[in-house]
């Protein structure tokens, strides 16, 4: 697959970097002309992935979070990766309301939010340490469908 553009950024697992990453990824996607809903969904999914790294991957320490974004004509492919403590049970981790930090009032909905806002979602263990969240968003498909429906009413 040929990409129109791609970027990689590395930030420290500090909570203040979550908003920077979210905004940077959103700005990088703008050439695809996403709707406000699409860009909001991308920003929310990226926020959840980065927050998971900050809260869970590096407890009591600071590490690197690697964000890669690739765009094609209609797709945004995003990966958020850490080299932290990892996740023991990936299947359990993606269940709604599952959290390893209930004492911190965590809702356990991060992966559920990502999965609901993105068109594809995959969670994988990294070799050595950590986890990578892979997600893809198709841009413009809802717009095309809506235009077709409007044209049907005009007939």
52 is catalytic: yes
Cα gap 34→56, rounded to integer Å:
31
Write down the catalytic residue from 17, 18, 52, 115. 52
Report residue 144 CA to chain centroid gap. 24
125 is catalytic: no
- Helix H or strand E encompassing 136: strand 131-138
Task: Starting at the earlier edge strand, list the strands of the sheet with 120-125.
Answer: 5-12, 64-71, 75-82, 131-138, 120-125
Write down the catalytic residue from 17, 48, 83, 115. 48
CA–CA distance from 155 to each of 149, 150, 151 (Å)?
Answer: 10, 9, 7
In contact, 64 and 10? CB cutoff 8 Å: yes
Q: Just list the catalytic residues.
A: 48, 52, 106
């Amino acid at each position: 697959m040929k990409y129109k553009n791609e970027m990689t950024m590395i930030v420290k697992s500090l909570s203040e970097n979550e908003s920077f990453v979210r905004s940077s990824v959103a700005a990088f996607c703008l050439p695809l002309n996403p709707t406000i809903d699409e860009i909001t969904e991308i920003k929310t999914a990226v926020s959840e992935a980065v927050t998971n790294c900050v809260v869970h991957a590096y407890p009591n320490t600071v590490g690197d979070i690697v964000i890669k974004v690739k765009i094609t004509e209609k797709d945004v492919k995003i990966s958020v990766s850490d080299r932290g403590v990892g996740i023991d049970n990936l299947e359990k981790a993606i269940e709604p309301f599952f959290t390893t930090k209930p004492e911190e009032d965590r809702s356990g909905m991060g992966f559920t939010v990502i999965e609901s806002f993105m068109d594809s979602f995959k969670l994988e263990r990294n070799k050595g340490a950590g986890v990578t969240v892979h997600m893809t968003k198709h841009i413009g498909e809802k717009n095309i469908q809506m235009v077709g429906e409007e044209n049907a009413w005009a007939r």
